[in-house]
């Protein structure tokens, strides 16, 4: 349809109105560079456009600035668009884009104030789906994971009959939230299903982001081939679109993959571009995980003075933003840094601070790693009983997540304490396709075939087909047997907004 409209426009006079329509078509076609060039050209001739056209043009420019991580520019264009007047749906998406832009530059209070008209109870929201998605994403940055999940799940579950852009974004953000909450099966299912929907509807612009969301669980569970595949595809999309924002997400994901492999040299190499940006969204606490992984690798490589300088800088910003999850992660690194310097008093205090700060705020994986780091410190101090208790806590949490690479490292510490670690995490059913894993995960949450079909925007017949394949591949014959054999420890979160 876009090609037909472009062909039709090519036969008209090259007016400002035509250029603004071409900008809109380029935007919908996933061509951000062309869209921005055309929109900027049309805006330069704004005296030839009506206020309606100007408003929609400013709204497109707002979205484009967010796409290349220019939050300040996005907020300014949004303000102009809203002042010019927009139809309800476009006003909703532009308010959301304004809030997101403010969040990218660390103005979280201002960002949430923009969304103040959205009902606090997401189930009462009508006509605010873009803003609800933005609020959910921003709540992640403020460590309100429960509130974030409630908002995002509402958007995901309220649009069963359509594959709207904000639903795909919400599914990607929900995947990140579920990863942090420790619901890793649900996280991977959300990311992979969103990818399938985005590919089916040819919404190329969001696919890179969704690939990076899928990397989180794959890498942390040691599924290196899957993690690498998602990263390669995300990078290809970023280059295809010329999308700096997606490319930055790719670098963040690349750091995560290397960190999960304990390849500390690679972590530092992958972090180079992000470090060079010197601030902005890449350094805002709560948005990306690379800073803690990068500094942790500096400590592991013995680059202690460099690590301390980085901790000081990241910590100052985290305190300014009141981001407890980032402060907890940095406290753990201070403990590891002090351990390397044999400053045991400082190390002990830092590890204890990490656990106190992280209560209810940090990701499930980070909580487990803080316990493991404290246990490792205690073992080296000869406090084997206390070390065993901390390491066992960490192992229990990591085993529940299925975080095999990290369990192996904790087992080495427990063995040094003279403790037999026990059973290793149960491997994922790798033989299943992403769609089959998604269906199986939802069935294990207690949903009927009809409910799964509604949630995945598929027919009941298709759900039955996938479920039969799952039964055959896993050699089970009922829902009860499937639930009994499915990897445990993910909390089997409900998909509804009240979860």
- Structure tokens, 215: 């990397």
Distance, CA of 262 to CA of 257 (rounded, Å): 9
For CA atoms 222, 210, 250, 132, give the dihedral sign.
negative
pLDDT tens figures, 143-157: 999 999 999 988 887
- Dmax over CA atoms of the chain, in Å, equals 82
Distance, CA of 77 to CA of 82 (rounded, Å): 9
SS3 content of the chain, % helix, strand, coil (to 5): 75, 0, 25
User: Tell me, what's the pLDDT at 340?
Assistant: 95
DSSP result, 65-98:
HHHTT-HHHHHHHHHHHHHH---HHHHHHHHHHH
- Give the start-end residues of each E strand in 207-278: none
pLDDT tens figures, 256-311: 999 999 999 999 999 998 999 877 888 989 889 999 999 999 999 999 999 999 99
Coil, strand, or helix at residue 50?
A: coil
If 0-12 CB within 10 Å is exposed, 13-18 middle and 19+ buried, where does residue 18 land? middle
**Taking Cα atoms as reference points, which of 166, 256, 242 lies closest to residue 211?**
256
What average pLDDT does range 67-75 have in this prediction? 87
Distance, CA of 470 to CA of 485 (rounded, Å): 12
CB-based contact 180:145 (threshold 8 Å): yes
CB-based contact 327:335 (threshold 8 Å): no
Distance, CA of 40 to CA of 408 (rounded, Å): 54
298 vs 362, which has greater pLDDT?
A: 298
pLDDT at 495 over 50: no
Task: Please name the residues in contact with 273: beta carbons below 8 A apart, sequence gap of 6 or more.
Answer: 248, 251
Confidence of residue 159 (pLDDT cuts 50, 70, 90): low
What average pLDDT does range 448-476 have in this prediction? 83
Distance, CA of 135 to CA of 151 (rounded, Å): 7
**Taking Cα atoms as reference points, which of 281, 280, 309 lies closest to residue 294?**
309
What average pLDDT does range 189-218 have in this prediction? 91
Distance, CA of 260 to CA of 255 (rounded, Å): 9
Report H helices in 45-164. Answer: 51-67, 71-84, 88-104, 108-114, 129-141, 145-158
Q: What angle do CA 391, 334, 322 make, to 5 degrees?
A: 105
Distance, CA of 203 to CA of 427 (rounded, Å): 33
Domain spans in the chain, listed from the N-terminal domain onward: 2-158, 183-253, 434-485
Coil, strand, or helix at residue 442?
A: helix
**Taking Cα atoms as reference points, which of 285, 249, 291 lies closest to residue 268?**
291
Domains 2-158 and 434-485 share a fold: no
If 0-12 CB within 10 Å is exposed, 13-18 middle and 19+ buried, where does residue 161 land? exposed
Instruction: Say if domain 434-485 classifies as CATH 1.10.10.10.
Output: yes
Confidence of residue 490 (pLDDT cuts 50, 70, 90): very low
Instruction: Say if domain 2-158 classifies as CATH 3.40.50.720.
Output: no
Distance, CA of 199 to CA of 207 (rounded, Å): 7
User: Tell me, what's the pLDDT at 260?
Assistant: 96
Confidence of residue 497 (pLDDT cuts 50, 70, 90): very low
3-state secondary structure 179-221: HHHCCHHHHHHHHHHHHHHHHHCCCHHHHHHHHHHHHHHHHHC
- Structure tokens, 340: 């390397």
DSSP result, 386-435:
HHHHHHHHHHHHHHHHT-HHHHHHHHHHHHHTT----PPPPPP-TTS-HH
Task: Please name the residues in contact with 93: beta carbons below 8 A apart, sequence gap of 6 or more.
Answer: 59, 63, 130, 166
Distance, CA of 431 to CA of 34 (rounded, Å): 42
Q: What predicted TM-score, i.e. pTM, was given to this entire model?
A: 0.83
DSSP result, 309-329:
HHHHHHHHHHHHHT-HHHHHH
- The residue behind tokens 């009902």 is 119
Confidence of residue 23 (pLDDT cuts 50, 70, 90): confident
CB-based contact 74:93 (threshold 8 Å): no
- Structure tokens, 290: 């690379």
Distance, CA of 402 to CA of 396 (rounded, Å): 10
391 vs 3, which has greater pLDDT?
A: 391
pLDDT at 487 over 70: no
- Give the start-end residues of each E strand in 95-165: none
- The residue behind tokens 């992280």 is 358
User: Tell me, what's the pLDDT at 157?
Assistant: 79
441 vs 81, which has greater pLDDT?
A: 81
């Amino acid at each position: 349809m876009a090609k037909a409209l472009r062909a039709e426009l090519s036969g008209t006079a090259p007016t400002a109105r035509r250029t603004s329509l071409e900008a809109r078509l380029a935007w919908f076609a996933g061509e951000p560079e062309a869209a921005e060039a055309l929109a900027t050209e049309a805006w330069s001739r704004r005296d030839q456009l009506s206020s309606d056209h100007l408003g929609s043009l400013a709204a497109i420019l707002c979205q484009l600035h967010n796409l290349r991580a220019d939050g300040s520019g996005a907020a300014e264009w949004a303000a102009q668009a809203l002042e010019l007047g927009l139809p309800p749906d476009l006003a909703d998406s532009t308010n959301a884009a304004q809030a997101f832009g403010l969040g990218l530059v660390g103005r979280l209070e201002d960002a949430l104030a923009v969304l103040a008209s959205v009902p606090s109870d997401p189930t009462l929201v009508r006509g605010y789906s873009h803003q609800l998605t933005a609020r959910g994403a921003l709540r992640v940055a403020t460590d309100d994971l429960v509130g974030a999940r409630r908002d995002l799940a509402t958007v995901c579950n309220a649009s069963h009959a359509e594959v709207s852009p904000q639903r795909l974004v919400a599914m990607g953000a929900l995947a990140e939230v579920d990863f942090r909450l420790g619901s890793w099966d649900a996280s991977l299912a959300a990311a992979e299903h969103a990818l399938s929907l985005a590919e089916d509807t040819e919404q190329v612009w969001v696919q890179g982001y969704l690939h990076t969301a899928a990397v989180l669980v794959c890498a942390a569970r040691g599924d290196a081939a899957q993690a690498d595949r998602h990263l390669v595809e995300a990078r290809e999309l970023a280059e295809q679109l010329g999308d700096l924002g997606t490319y930055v997400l790719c670098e963040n994901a690349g750091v995560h993959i290397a960190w999960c492999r304990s390849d500390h040299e690679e972590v530092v190499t992958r972090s180079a571009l992000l470090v060079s940006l010197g601030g902005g969204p890449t350094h805002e606490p709560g948005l990306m995980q690379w800073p803690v992984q990068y500094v942790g690798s500096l400590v592991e490589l013995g680059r202690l003075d460099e690590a301390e300088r980085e901790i000081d800088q990241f910590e100052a910003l985290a305190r300014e933003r009141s981001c407890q999850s980032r402060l907890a992660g940095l406290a753990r690194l201070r403990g590891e840094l002090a351990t390397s310097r044999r400053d045991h008093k400082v190390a002990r205090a830092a590890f204890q601070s990490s656990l106190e700060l992280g209560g209810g705020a940090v990701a499930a994986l980070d909580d487990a790693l803080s316990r493991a780091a404290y246990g490792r410190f205690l073992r080296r101090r000869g406090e084997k009983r206390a070390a065993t208790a901390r390491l066992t806590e960490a192992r229990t949490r990591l085993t529940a997540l299925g975080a095999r690479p990290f369990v192996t490292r904790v087992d080495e510490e427990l063995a040094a304490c003279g403790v037999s670690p026990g059973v290793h995490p149960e491997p994922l059913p790798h033989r299943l396709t992403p769609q089959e894993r998604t269906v199986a995960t939802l069935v294990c949450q207690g949903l009927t075939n009809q409910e799964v079909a509604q949630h995945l925007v598929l027919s009941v017949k298709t759900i039955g087909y996938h479920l039969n394949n799952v039964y055959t591949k896993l050699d089970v014959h009922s829902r009860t047997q499937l639930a009994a054999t499915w990897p445990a420890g993910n909390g089997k979160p409900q998909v509804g907004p009240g979860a």
